[in-house]
Chain A
Amino acid sequence: MATMAHEQHPALTHGEVTRDVVATLGPPSRGYVLMLGGAVALFLVGVITFVALLKEGLGLAGYQPPVMWSVYITTFVFWVGIGHAGTLISAILFLFRSPWRTAVYRATEAMTVFAIMTAGLFPIIHIGRQWVFYWLLPYPNQRYLWPNFKSPLLWDVFAIGTYLTVSTTFLVVGLVPDIAAVRDKVSGWRKKLYAACSLGWTGSDTQWRHYTRAYLYLAALATPLVLSVHSVVSWDFAMSIIPGWHGTIFAPYFVAGAIYSGIGMVFTLLIPLRKLLKLEHLITEYHFDNLGKLTLLTGSILFYAYAMEYFVAWYSGNTYEQTTFYLRAFGPMWWAGWTMIICNAFVSQLLWFRKIRTNLTALFIISIFINIGMWFERYVIIVSSLSNDFTPYAWDQLNPTWADWGILAGSFGWFAMYFLLFAKTFPVVAIQEIKEMIPMPRKRKGAHG
């Protein structure tokens, strides 16, 4: 443990950790302000598009029956997936006592929360009568109408709702001691602010005693949760009878894909962030190397899943499945199909090389491929399967419009906006967990490991 810790943080004392992290909360740089401005601008594009949708109807988007779900649901699944890497790193790797998670987990956990916040908007945006979205909730009403719990969409409501709540709790609980640390370093109104946010945390032995246990159980609960959420999302498709959706492989396939896409987003966020906030000595090659290995693993699982989908389609002898997958590869949407396979299955294989895993430029480029590839994976699964299902006479191809892209852009703006604000307001590196890894100095040498 300790040796591992030293490997990560050569020559860092508790004091230096606090100092460096608190330093990230200083006045914003020009680059930061520009990025925030860009994010807000994108977000406004989304707002305008949504108002237009409310006024004119979903017809503004490029829906082309039988393709009744398209860019919005694609983007919904994309964002839900992004969230998963965060919980994996913060919760699952915590249970595995994986030492390298400490430096990055706060950022990824924040990413999770904001990704789910983004995803949560889409079920509302995409429905025909957005103003009655709350009918999906089992709230008491004088007509005794209840939702249909047999519908996978209801499972979604509960899965996403739970996921958002639990990961938010997890994030906040992790933050409290660090906010207290910040509180004790700053002055003036900021001290008041952080004092309020620290909920009277003093780090007394009692607090730590309950805190460590609670944190352990939260992690233990978040672990099956994260696995369930994307399984449920995958069942939105797998529970239907549409060829190309109706697959038993979907749950694990989607979970792997989710984590894969999530780590991709972690790269995309952390690589610039650590420069921006000067955290190079806290978030090091060591972390990226490990993240890279995780990407390689999940990417390879995807590779297998893709291969299996085609194999099963062929082996099943089911003409509907066979047609769907033939057209996925060689039909009108062949370009999307191959984008997904190249970006996910093939590009991820580059990470076999340590040189690439530790080369941040390479990783950043790969991460962009991953983001694109994973968005297209969902696009292909949803759109190409719907375009040509059972009734050939009804087949048609999708043509997205500005309304589709407007909402997509808006979602990125909305996410980036929150993430940037968070990074400037709260410690994006977990102070107390890093300190936990760095042994305190002692008077007597030798005693204790």
Chain B
Amino acid sequence: MADDTPSNGINRRKFLTVLGVAGGGTAALSGCSTDRVQKLVPYLVQSEDQVPGIPTVYASTCTECAAGCGLHVRTREGRAIKLEGNPAHPINAGTLCARGQAGLQGLYNPGRLSGPMARGADGSWQELTWEDAIARLAERVGGGAGRLAVISGAGEGTFADLLAEWTAALGGRLVRYEPFDHEPLRAANRQVFGLDQLPSHDFARARHIVSFGADFLETWLAPVEQQRGFAAAHGYRDGEMAKHVYVGPRMSLTGMNADEWHASAPGTEAVVALAMAHVILAERSGAPSDANALRGVLAPYTPEMAAGECGLSADAIRLLAREFASARPSLAVTGGVAMQHRGAVEACAAVNILNYVAGNVGETVRFGSRLPAADGYGALDGLIATMAAGEVGVVLVHEANPLYAVPKARGLADAFAKVPFKVSTASVLDETAAACDLVLPNHHALERWDDRRIRAGVVGLMQPVMEPVMGSMPTGDVLLKTAQKIGGVMARFAAPTFEAHLKAAWAELARQRSASAPVFWMEALQRGGLYEAPPAPPGVRLAAGAERVGYTGPDLDGEGALVFLAYPTSMLFDGRGANRPWLLENPDPVTKITWQSWVELHPDTAKDLDVREGEIVRLVSPHGTLEAPAYLYAGVRTGVVAAPLGYGHTEYGQYAKGRGANALDLLDGGAGRAFLPYLSTRVRLERTRGYQKVAKTEGNPRQLGRHIAEAMSLPLARQGLDPRQAHYAETGGTPHEINTERELEAIAGFAAAQQAATKLGNYAGEHPRWGMVIDLARCTGCSSCVTACYAENNIPTVGEDEVLRGREMSWLRIERYFEGGEEPGEPLEARFVPMLCQHCGNAPCEPVCPVYAAYHTPDGLNAQVYNRCVGTRYCSNNCPYKVRYFNWHAYNKTAFPEPLHLQLNPDVTVRARGVMEKCTFCVQRIRGAQHQARLEDRPLADGDVVTACAQACPSGAIVFGDLNDPASRARAAAADHRGYHALEDLNVRPVITYLAKVQHRTEA
């Protein structure tokens, strides 16, 4: 079936237009033929950094959130095909989250604009030339004597400086706005420590971590860095692991990774923190001397008082406080978006006090390194007022989408409409751009020169890794060209291009370090930027404001019965992920829902309201309504209803537009506030007649005592028990062996004889045995590995309808099982198991295939020959782990609309319709490493082969290697006493060893 071949639809000319930095060769070739050919074409003019078949890696910086992780962009034949972490980078050290990897789909997004556009008189879009577009901009901003407003995204850097100067020179007003800017955190630091900064946290050193609704594994500050630290602290090693307690109304992914979850009433974190500080001050000395001044302030906040407010027991608070104080150093964090209520500042202040009292400030809480990212919501709010007053003549929006991110209740749309001339640099037509008069699509971060100051001493560089996909232009160039066109005062922006401007700025950096500019630049470019040690943190003392800490409660509006909790998901973040199929199909780690928005209800709440899962419910707040299917989740406090942010786009490309409902519609606009309160309203829940099957990838959330996701308590782990022994040690039973000694001998003997009988032909001699070890004590379920797998192995996204039929293709999925939480008072516990092909030694899928499409390679891989597969699907039926995926339709044709097909990895087949596919242990990487070793005439070394999932995992939970190599890390890890195989009793001999999760259990 030629029409099913993967290469179909890759237009040669299209391919060549993006053909790498080898522009000359491109130009020379692209004219000589007009027909579509179905093969890749070698260069006529070979460029030294492009070897066909060999990936070229460029260092860059991730722009998907403010954290600024370092990237390695893997390119092949001039196309970026995968984003990976930069091992040298201080923040992510070679790992990357799902959002960061999905940046590639921002580059190749089908929604990207082909060039500058302007609204015509009839309101329709007209394509422009860049000259024309820049002339129009220059005319407006130059002529318009001030009254210019610029809304830009967060991020310090050369471009940000240029934009600021440019705006100032034009007498304009610049507002840098980031939806999740953590203003309350900064305000609280101002108040308590007199520092207008965001702190950085050393999770790795903390022995006891308490999070008051701060989702530091998903969306809070720098998730990848924090996850690395958390894994280091909370992962079990040599009998030690930190304890993690989560206090908040909803068990988020971070909460799921906690040893204890305290479902406090919404907006009562402050009182818990103050009560803990109270206990600590009362019970132990050793708190900083000046903390004693707080005794008076804290006096009223006894555990009993707090218990009345937050719904926790006084004893629990006391116990928590003691544990927190006795573990040194400990760490308390708060300020997550989900708990950002009107009293958020005092909550953050209270937690600051707690950290200070426990002596963590300067230890695990450091200041001085993080740079202020943006101006905060207050500034934007002010600008909205002036726009509404009609005092803005021109507004330029850059890397921001306020019309989506600001609740409708604020009336931004009307205010924005009042501005006569509106310009956007969005490369995809988002809500804001759609409301503009002129759109000047910016280059994607992987197409342009740029840099970003991430924190003191760390500056990330970005460089073009390939020819632009679309007819966009770097906004830096636009600013300069515009300035030059305007002339006059603007003439001082003389740099011909932003690239030149940037290099000049870096020459200055070199000068400061008295280094040779070219060398300094080249090294920085290769490294990915400038990574210097952060300056010594300043000594931090309590400021006068510390006396003003207190608790006044969340102050919610609306009179509905339920408190509405809007939270950002780890996939869509503030909504910018909503046009990335990878992120839409990668299930939300908590609910396992894809492609849809939902409303979370506690089962008891649902029972009271007589609501069933999938029933479409309407939430009504004073500010608006929201309709979405109900999802019953025991991890959300009764009386609270939660909904994810980031859905309900009205523009922003084919994938995002009209998908789900926007939780912001329920919120008050926060007019006149310094920050946007996300937890601010009560809602009324109305039942509709409607029903919508929830597109979740989970079947049954309980593992029914089948030993798939094992866990043991810390004391048992310290005794060195294996999961089975630990199980019986806890349940008090004894192992039940149905076979007698002699029977077991016979079985073993038969197995051995059978194995011997297989050592024939190709299978004679010594081979590696590829294996994997997954440490469940480190895995947080973040699902970064899932996106890595999609990217590496060209896995198609199948879309909502097919997911509803359970046909998602994720070779690697994160199974999330719940334990407990069924009887009232019983703690709810979540376990994550990355489930992928176990490459069984006695694979049940292999012998049932009538055509040998599924077979075992001599090096122990369970291989699937796509070309041989006829699609009987018997193998999938017989797979106990259900990790085989079938191409029910020609997904290879529907999943990669141009230019998304450019993301495909040329090393991996794109599977045609009607064949089975599954995890290959990244066999292309294995063979690649083996070839490399052969070229270098050396044996394959441990660590030469890293699977995509292992590479991406920020927790370092996955180890891959040769189990026959006595020196390999994998073999050592597999020998751990916590090691077990999923469904071990089936005797299919999986090659993947899981290491049981270890938990601090409250009692015992």
A touching B, CB within 8 angstroms: yes
B539 contacts the other chain (CB 8 A) = no
Which of A59, A136, A151, A154 is B889 in contact with, Cβ under 8 Å? A59
Q: Does the CB pair B890–A241 fall under 8 Å?
A: no
Nearest CB of B to A133, in Å = 7
A128 & B882 in contact (Cβ 8 Å cutoff): no
User: Which of A5-13, A282-290, A365-373, A383-391 interfaces with chain B?
Assistant: A383-391
Tell me whether B807 and A65 are in contact (CB under 8 A). Answer: yes
B703 engages A68 (CB within 8 Å): no
Neighbouring B residues of A392 by C-beta, 8 Å: 699-704, 706, 708, 817
A64, B873: Cβ atoms closer than 8 Å: no
Given known pairs A128-B887, A128-B914, the reply for A135 and B873 (CB within 8 Å) is: no
> How far does the alpha carbon of A255 sit from the alpha carbon of B703 in the complex, in Å?
36
Interchain CA distance A148-B806 in the complex, whole Å: 30
**Cβ A147 vs Cβ B877 within 8 A:** no
Q: A58-B914, A240-B844, A241-B844 are in contact. Are A153 and B878 (CB under 8 A)?
A: no
A393 and B889 within 8 A (CB): no
| A interface, size bucket | 35 or more
Chain B minimum-CB-distance residue to A153? B850
Determine if A63 and B888 form an interchain contact, defined as CB atoms under 8 angstroms apart.
Answer: yes
How far is A395 from B813 in the complex, measured between Cα atoms in Å?
A: 14
B residues sitting closer than 8 Å to A (CB atoms) are 1, 698-706, 708, 802, 805-807, 813, 815-817, 835, 844, 847-852, 868-874, 876-878, 880-882, 885-890, 913-916, 983, 986, 988
Query: Of the candidates B700, B848, B851, which one forms a contact with A147 in the assembled complex, judged by CB atoms under 8 Å apart?
Result: B851
Q: Does A56 contact B (CB under 8 A)?
A: yes
**Which one of B847, B882, B913 lies within 8 Å of A150 (CB-CB)?**
B847
Query: When each residue 215-245 of chain A gets 1 if its CB lies under 8 Å from chain B and 0 otherwise, what string results?
Result: 0000000000000000000001001111000
Within A170-202, the residues touching B (CB, 8 Å) are none
Q: How far is the CA of A130 from the CA of B698 in the complex (A)?
A: 31
Q: Which residue of B lies closest to A58 (CB)?
A: B888
Known A68-B873, A151-B874; judge A393-B815 contact (CB<8 A): yes
**Chain A residues closer than 8 Å to B888, beta-carbon distance:** 57-59, 63
Decide yes or no whether A69 CB sits under 8 A from chain B: yes
Are B850 and A63 neighbours in the complex by a CB distance under 8 Å? no
With A and B bound together, what is the CA distance between A135 and B704 in angstroms? Answer: 41
By the criterion CB–CB under 8 Å, are B877 and A391 in contact? no
Pair A151/B805 contact, Cβ less than 8 Å: no
Q: List A contacts of B704 (CB < 8 A).
A: 319, 323, 392
The answer to whether A252 has its CB under 8 Å from any CB of chain B is no
Asked if A65 meets B817 with Cβ closer than 8 Å, knowing A148-B849, A391-B835, the reply is: no
- B705, B802, B850 interface centre (most CB from chain A within 10 Å): B850
B914 touches A64 (CB 8 A): no
CA distance A56 to B3 in the complex (A): 12
**Also in contact, A391 and B882, with CB within 8 A (given A58-B888, A128-B870, A129-B869):** yes
> Separation in Å of the B668 CB from the closest CB of chain A?
39
Per-residue CB contact flags for chain A residues 389-418 toward chain B (1 = under 8 Å, else 0) read: 111111110010000000000000000000
Subset of 15 A-B contacts with CB under 8 Å = A57-B887, A128-B871, A128-B872, A129-B871, A129-B913, A153-B850, A241-B878, A386-B877, A389-B880, A391-B708, A391-B882, A392-B701, A392-B708, A393-B698, A396-B699
Judged by DSSP, the binding face of B is loop
Nearest A residue to B1 via CB reads A131
Q: Is the CB of A145 within 8 A of B877?
A: no
In the assembled complex, the Cα of A60 lies from the Cα of B972 at a distance in Å of 48
A121 at the interface (CB under 8 A from B): no
A153–B868 touching, CB < 8 Å: no
The answer to whether A127 and B706 touch (CB under 8 A), given A65-B882, A65-B886, A151-B847, is no
A69–B986 CA distance with the chains assembled, in angstroms: 22
Residue of A nearest to B914 (CB): A128
For B915, the chain A residues whose CB sits under 8 A away are: 128-129
A132 part of interface (Cβ distance < 8 Å): yes
Task: State how many angstroms separate the Cβ of A226 from the closest Cβ of chain B.
Answer: 23
A65 and B871 form a contact (CB under 8 A): no
The CA-CA distance from A150 to B846 in the complex, in Å, is 10
Chain A residue nearest to B915 (CB atoms) is A128
Q: Give the residue of B700, B983, B986, B988 whose beta carbon is less than 8 angstroms from that of A395.
A: B700
Residue ID in chain A nearest B881 by CB atoms: A391
A274 to B708, CA, bound (A): 60
Asked if B877 and A66 sit within 8 Å, CB to CB, the answer is: yes
Q: Are A147 and B852 in contact (CB under 8 A)?
A: yes
0/1 interface trace, chain A 112-153, chain B, CB 8 Å (1 if under): 000000000000001111111101100000000111101111
* A301 on the B face (CB < 8 A): no
Closest Cβ of chain B: how far from A344's Cβ, in Å?
24
One of B701, B806, B873 near A69 (C-beta < 8 A): B873
The reply to whether A390 and B850 form a contact with Cβ atoms under 8 Å apart is no
> B700, A58: Cβ atoms under 8 Å?
no
- Complex Cα–Cα for A391 and B890 (A): 27
Is A273 an interface residue, CB under 8 A from the partner? no
- Using A69-B874, A157-B850 as known contacts, list a sample of 8 further A-B pairs with CB atoms less than 8 Å apart, ordered by residue number in A: A58-B914, A59-B888, A59-B889, A135-B851, A150-B847, A392-B699, A392-B700, A393-B701
A236, B848: Cα distance in complex, Å: 9
How far apart sit A386 and B835, CA to CA, in the bound complex (Å)? 19
Complex partner residue of B870 from A64, A133, A239, A399, CB under 8 angstroms: A133
Which among B708, B806, B813, B872 is the interface contact of A127 at CB below 8 angstroms?
B872
Which residues of B sit under 8 angstroms from A319, Cβ to Cβ?
A: 704-706
Would B869 and A128 count as touching, CB distance under 8 A? yes
Contact partners of A132 in chain B: CB under 8 A:
870
Nearest residue, chain B, Cβ from A62? B805
The docked-state distance in angstroms from the alpha carbon of A402 to that of B925 is 43
CB distance from B903 to the nearest CB of A (A): 23
Looking across the interface, which residue of chain B has its beta carbon closest to that of A396? B806
Q: Residues of B contacting A57 with CB < 8 Å?
A: 887-890, 913-914
Measured CA separation A132–B853 after assembly (Å): 13
Query: Given A128-B873, A145-B868, A389-B880, A240 and B848 touching (CB < 8 A)?
Result: yes
- In the complex, the answer to whether B806 meets A64 with C-beta atoms within 8 Å is yes
Beta-carbon contact of B708 and A153 below 8 Å: no
A386 to B704, CA, bound (A): 17
CB distance from A180 to the nearest CB of B (A): 43
- Closest B-chain residue to A395, C-beta based? B699
Chain A nearest CB from B856 CB (Å) reads: 12
Taken together as a complex, chains A and B put the C-alpha atoms of A65 and B885 apart, in Å, by 8
CA distance A135 to B887 in the complex (A): 19
**Most A CB atoms within 10 A — which of B1, B813, B849?**
B849
Given A65-B806, A65-B807, A241-B844, A390-B703 contact (CB < 8 Å): no
B738's nearest neighbour on chain A, judged by CB, is: A317
Q: Are B877 and A68 in contact (CB under 8 A)?
A: yes
B289 nearest CB across to chain A (Å):
54
Identity of the chain B residue whose Cβ is nearest the Cβ of A243 in the assembled complex: B880
Q: Which residues of A contact B986 (CB under 8 A)?
A: 241, 390
Given A153-B850, A392-B703, A241:B880 Cβ within 8 A: yes
